[in-house]
Structures are given as C-alpha cells and as structure tokens.
A and B are shown apart, each in its own frame.
Chain A
Amino acid sequence: MNRIISIFRRDFKSSVREYILLYMMIGPLLLALGFSMIIPNTESASLQFALEASLDQSIVDEFNKYGSVFLFESKEEIINRVNGMDDIAGVMSEKEGSLFIILEGNETHDTKVVPQKIIREINGVNDASISYKIRDIGVKRSPISIIGSAALMITAIILGGIIIGFNIIEEKESKTIQALNVTMMNKMEFIIGKSLLGFVLPVAQVYIILWLLKIDDVNKLMILVIVLSGTLTASVLGFLIGVISDNQIAGVMNMKMIYLATAASIVGAMVIPESSQFFLYILPTYWIFVGFRDIVSNTATWHQIIINLSWILGMTFILFMLIKKRIIRGLT
C-alpha cells in the first residue's frame, strides 16, 4: 500500500510540474467556469421573478404559480438582481399600489411577457390580444446545460486516463520503469498506483464542475457510480496510450484518436435518432455520456444506471482483455 501511495504521489507531483499535464488537470475546470458564464443557470430554465418583500402575499402566491420567486427588501436590491447574468424579471410597486416590471433588456421573450400577463391576471384585466397557455413539462434545465455539463464531465474522466498514459510515457522515455523493475514493486502495485490519479482526479473534478455549473439537484450517488465506472474505461485507455506511445508526440496523437471516439459518442447520442444509436453501444464512452445526460436532466432511474454501468464495465473488460498482453509487455 505504501508503494502504491508513493507512486500516486509521485505522479501527482510530476504532473503538476509538467505544463501539458497541468493544463489537462485544470482544463475541465476552466472550461466549466467559462461555461457557467455563458449558459443559463439551472434556475433560468424556468421563469424567475424578483419581488419586493412588502408586496401582498396573494401577489407573491400568484407569481409562484409561474416560476421561482425571490423576495428583496429594497428596490435597489431588485435592480441589482435584475442586472445579474441570468434572466429574471423584477416586480415592484408604485406609491399608489400599482405594479410595474423592470427588465435588463436582454431577457428571453417569456421573461418579458409572462410577468405582464400575471399582473393583468392580478388586476383582473383580460386582454384578448394576449393568449397564453403555460404548462409545466418538467424540464428544469436547458439542453445546453445538460449536454454541456455531461460533455465536461466525460472530458474530465477521459483526461484523467490520458494523464495516466502520459505518466507512463514519461517512465518509458526516461527508462525509470527499468529502475522500478529492480525493486520490490510488483506490476499490480505499479498499475494500481498509476491508476489512482485517474480515479481521484476525475471524481474531484466532476463534483467541482457540477458546483461551478450550479447543478446541485442531481443524484450524487448516481454521478459517483458513472464516474467510477468511467474512470475504469479511461484508465485502460490511458495504459493503452502509455504502452503504445514511445514519446509525448506519439502520445498526443493517440490522445486525439481516443478523444475522437469520445466526441463521436457525444455527437452520436445527440444527433442520431435513439432507435439508430445501437452501433454506439460498443463504446463505453457512449454509456458514460448518456448516463451523465440522464442524471443531470433528472430522468435517470437506478434501473437505467445499472444498465449503463453493465455496458461500461462489460465493454471495458472486453477492451482490457484484448489489450492486456500489450499492456503487460509494454510495462516490462
């Protein structure tokens, strides 16, 4: 165990001192940070209203029927909130008690129009020119948010495997693997020690990504199950990159090939009709992506997650058996 931890610590230390690996480690988090600024956040998929706290409870209740209501003590606080990055309509009262709406100007159509409709309802004004049917279809998150977060999480997992691969390439290039082979360290310790970084890093990154994207109402255990099974796939791919690449340039080339397959899984799952997606089933990355997508959109069931898990583990096992000899030979 001591040796496994030592290998893990060495790899971590070495990775943060190697720019290409450092970028891979922080890349998904930077992307998530950037993504969080350009996608609507979790709440903005439904309508949001910033109301004065002094308004009648009946008014607040009426707005609550159509979206999320946030109460503020002063008009300044409401204005500040409306000026925030996401879509939210501010509703304030004038001295005589009439309600008025303030907007930043770049809100979506619904955010602009629905509050008007609600105020008319409250005031008993029935404007025949406006006809609205508002129906909750259960979608709480925008498709961009779902696809984007799932893609970022799978990226973090795959990059974890690639970091393993590059650390193996380093061992091969510097021939340090020879020096380790004349110590008590056995191959299994080496493999586990090398893999640890590919497990620990994505687990941490995935939860940080969810936090950065403000996706907190998802089943965290389901996420963990998919992340852990995904890291197994990524580790096997990482070892494959490590043993078949003689240097970092070859490693980058092989990394691109692996990421091409990952991108194919993501794009395939998005654009191909579900009935025709069967030929993507052999790609574990397809099941990882679909798993994340369903969890983030809150449509995943444990039954579905177990099916995903079975495919991921099954396909990874087959892949490992196919390349096992090559990996063991490459580590000698």
Chain B
Amino acid sequence: MLNVKGLYHSYSKDEHYAVQDMTFQVEKGEIFGFLGPSGAGKSTTQSILFGLLELQRGEVSIDGMSVKKLSDDFFNMIGVSFESPNVYKNLTGLENLKFYSKMFNVATEKPEELLKEVGLGKDMNKKASQYSKGMLQRLVFARSMINNPKIWFLDEPTSGLDPETASRIKAIIKRKKDQGTTIFLTTHNMNIADELCDRVAFVNDGKIILIDTPQKLKLRYGERSVKVEFMDQEKLRTEFISLVDKQGQSQLQKLVETGRIVTMHSQEASLEEIFISVVGRGLI
C-alpha cells in the first residue's frame, strides 16, 4: 500500500538531512507505528508522504501512485489527523466537518454520525472555540475520516484525551483496520503503539533504526525471566528467575507446587525500554 525507498529530505537543500535513507513498506490493512522522539524526522517524513512537503530525493508511492505527481485520486484516498487542533474556531464542529466534506470528490461520511462516534454528538452545534483540547483533538480525528480514507495518517491521535475517550478512539482505529484501512500512526506513546500496531519503526536523527513487530522486538530485547514475589518463612521475598536455564525452571516449578507465589510477572522489555537500549535516548 505504501512504499518508501531511499527517502531523503533537507530543509536547507544541502547535506544536512532531516530525513535520510528511509526505506520501508506498509501493507494494506496494517497499522504501522512510526515512533521516535521530537525532532527525529517523523513529521517531516509524514509530510512528504501526504504531499505537504515536496519529495526531494527517493521514491514514495501510495497504492501505486507516486507522490511526485499528486492526482485528485491521491487526495480522495488519504485522511490526515493532525496533532495540532487545526480547525476553524468560528465554526461549529458540525460546520467544520460539513465544510471539509465539500473538499473531496468521493462519497463522504455523514458528519453527524462521525461526531457522535467520537463522542461529540451533544456538542456538534457548539463553536469550536468553546471546545476543550480533547474535544478539538477528537474533531480533528473525526474530520480525517470524512472521506473514508484507504490510508489514514494519524499523528498522536490520543494525545490529551482522558482514558475513556482514548479507549473509544483506539476502538475506532481497530475497527477501521478490520475494515481494511491502512494506518500510519505517528506517536511517541509506546503504550498506544504496543496496543495498536502490527509493526513499528524506531526513528532517530532522521533515520529508521529498526522495524519489526512489537512482539518480536520484546522477545529479542527482553529477558526471558519472571519476577516472582513469594512467601518464605512468613516473609515476602522477590526473585528474578530465568526461564531459560534448568535451575531456574526447577526453582519456579517448586514455587508453583508449594503454592507460595504471591505475584509473578514476565520480564519482557517494554517498547520504551527497547527504544532506549537501541537508540541510547528516551522519547521525550
């Protein structure tokens, strides 16, 4: 669905690249996480993918169409949910969506339905200037669905949302994936990425450091051990027990059999820990 090959971009049009030698593919119906700290080149890459920035060097195609020559079909096919709440504050939520729906040549979703879906049904006739940050975020999210895109670019879609609303947004993303929408998710929230993404790419200093499924990354970079809290002579003890060597396996088996285990947690690495270990810096 999305093919990127040898992508470079320089704002100063010299050898100081904001993005360099990026190559990756995203399959149809896949949720692809693009993870990295601020200034890593995520937004630059994304802006090139949906045509906001000119393609300087490399190849980018979406559904076989090159972004070098942007056609009407291209824009009918993509949806973009920006991180910034870029809506018309003097218009109501409903007016914002109705206006935006006129910008496409394909059958569009009903604005009222979309607003209800993201929990703005009651507030659809309020001016956007009266919306909270979270409501604006949901309005931008709803707007990006108006043309029922084949490929959907989401930039921090749950940023600033309360857990319940974030859960609602994640459910919509999962449903869209099930319907065959390809999703390009840019975030620095590793929990969201872990929960939603089929594959993730770690980006730093304009380069892709690694690409894989969250599960494989955890297995590759995590320790195969468990953290066990158990009762030992009426005292609570904590031990890390290896799942690989025989001594550890037998120790764990004994603890299970004696029924002294209070808690037990597998010690696979989180995506954030993997990122820090691979890149050498955090995500902020």
Chain B associates with chain A: yes
Given contacts A6-B99, A175-B84, contact A183 B75 (CB under 8 A): yes
* Cβ-defined contact, B86 with A182, below 8 A: no
* Cβ 8 A contact of B90, one of A18, A178, A183: A18
Determine the residue in chain A with the shortest Cβ distance to B50. Answer: A182
Across-interface contacts of A179 in B (CB, < 8 A): 80, 82, 86-87, 100, 140, 143
Q: Number of A interface residues at 8 Å Cβ cutoff, please give it.
A: 20
State whether the Cβ of A126 lies closer than 8 Å to any Cβ in chain B.
no
Across-interface contacts of B82 in A (CB, < 8 A): 175, 178-179
* Cβ-defined contact, A176 with B52, below 8 A: no
* Cβ-defined contact, A174 with B75, below 8 A: no
* Cβ-defined contact, A174 with B88, below 8 A: yes
Which of B10-18, B101-109, B161-169, B190-198 participates in binding chain A?
Answer: B101-109
For window 173-194 of chain A, which residues contact chain B by CB distance below 8 Å? 174-176, 178-185
State whether the Cβ of B239 lies closer than 8 Å to any Cβ in chain A.
no
Q: How far is the CA of A176 from the CA of B99 in the complex (A)?
A: 12
Interchain pairs with CB closer than 8 A, number: 61
Across-interface contacts of A180 in B (CB, < 8 A): 103
Determine the residue in chain B with the shortest Cβ distance to A18. Answer: B90
Determine the residue in chain B with the shortest Cβ distance to A185. Answer: B103
Across-interface contacts of B105 in A (CB, < 8 A): 184
Across-interface contacts of B89 in A (CB, < 8 A): 174
Q: Kindly provide the distance from the CB of A154 to the nearest chain B CB, expressed in whole angstroms.
A: 28
State whether the Cβ of B76 lies closer than 8 Å to any Cβ in chain A.
yes
State whether the Cβ of A65 lies closer than 8 Å to any Cβ in chain B.
no
* Cβ-defined contact, B86 with A178, below 8 A: yes
* Cβ 8 A contact of A10, one of B52, B76, B91: B91
Chain A positions 211 through 240: 1 when the CB is less than 8 Å from some CB of chain B, otherwise 0:
000000000000000000000000000000
State whether the Cβ of B48 lies closer than 8 Å to any Cβ in chain A.
no
State whether the Cβ of A304 lies closer than 8 Å to any Cβ in chain B.
no
* Cβ-defined contact, A14 with B91, below 8 A: yes
Across-interface contacts of A120 in B (CB, < 8 A): none
Q: How far is the CA of A174 from the CA of B140 in the complex (A)?
A: 12
State whether the Cβ of B257 lies closer than 8 Å to any Cβ in chain A.
no
Given contacts A17-B90, A176-B88, contact A182 B100 (CB under 8 A): no
* Cβ-defined contact, A182 with B91, below 8 A: no
* Cβ-defined contact, A6 with B90, below 8 A: no
A10, A18, A181 pick with most chain B CB within 10 angstroms: A10
Q: Kindly provide the distance from the CB of A170 to the nearest chain B CB, expressed in whole angstroms.
A: 8
* Cβ-defined contact, B51 with A182, below 8 A: yes
Q: How far is the CA of A112 from the CA of B187 in the complex (A)?
A: 84
Q: How far is the CA of A180 from the CA of B52 in the complex (A)?
A: 10
Q: Kindly provide the distance from the CB of A251 to the nearest chain B CB, expressed in whole angstroms.
A: 16
For window 91-142 of chain B, which residues contact chain A by CB distance below 8 Å? 91, 95, 99-100, 102-105, 127, 140
Across-interface contacts of A176 in B (CB, < 8 A): 86-88
Chain A positions 188 through 215: 1 when the CB is less than 8 Å from some CB of chain B, otherwise 0:
0000000000000000000000000000
Across-interface contacts of A175 in B (CB, < 8 A): 82, 84, 86
* Cβ 8 A contact of A6, one of B52, B87, B103: B103
State whether the Cβ of A13 lies closer than 8 Å to any Cβ in chain B.
yes
Determine the residue in chain A with the shortest Cβ distance to B127. Answer: A17
Q: Kindly provide the distance from the CB of A325 to the nearest chain B CB, expressed in whole angstroms.
A: 15
Across-interface contacts of B232 in A (CB, < 8 A): none
State whether the Cβ of A3 lies closer than 8 Å to any Cβ in chain B.
yes
* Cβ-defined contact, A184 with B104, below 8 A: yes
Determine the residue in chain B with the shortest Cβ distance to A173. Answer: B89
Q: How far is the CA of A84 from the CA of B91 in the complex (A)?
A: 46
Given contacts A3-B103, A6-B99, A183-B100, contact A13 B91 (CB under 8 A): yes
Q: How far is the CA of A179 from the CA of B50 in the complex (A)?
A: 11
Determine the residue in chain B with the shortest Cβ distance to A180. Answer: B103
* Cβ-defined contact, B75 with A182, below 8 A: yes
State whether the Cβ of B228 lies closer than 8 Å to any Cβ in chain A.
no
State whether the Cβ of A2 lies closer than 8 Å to any Cβ in chain B.
yes
Q: Kindly provide the distance from the CB of A332 to the nearest chain B CB, expressed in whole angstroms.
A: 8
* Cβ 8 A contact of A184, one of B50, B72, B87, B95: B72
State whether the Cβ of B78 lies closer than 8 Å to any Cβ in chain A.
yes
Across-interface contacts of A13 in B (CB, < 8 A): 90-91, 95
A13, A181, A183 pick with most chain B CB within 10 angstroms: A183
For window 22-50 of chain B, which residues contact chain A by CB distance below 8 Å? 50
Q: Kindly provide the distance from the CB of A190 to the nearest chain B CB, expressed in whole angstroms.
A: 10
Across-interface contacts of A178 in B (CB, < 8 A): 52, 82, 86
* Cβ 8 A contact of B103, one of A14, A18, A174, A183: A183
* Cβ-defined contact, B104 with A183, below 8 A: yes
Name 5 extra pairs, CB < 8 A, besides A13-B95, A170-B90, A179-B82.
A6-B102, A17-B127, A179-B86, A181-B52, A183-B104
14 A-B residue pairs with CB within 8 Å: A3-B102, A3-B103, A6-B103, A13-B91, A14-B91, A17-B90, A174-B87, A178-B86, A179-B80, A181-B52, A182-B52, A182-B80, A183-B100, A184-B75
Residues of A within 8 A of B (CB): 2-3, 6, 10, 13-14, 17-18, 170, 174-176, 178-185
The 3 closest A-B pairs by CB, nearest first: A183-B103, A175-B86, A6-B102
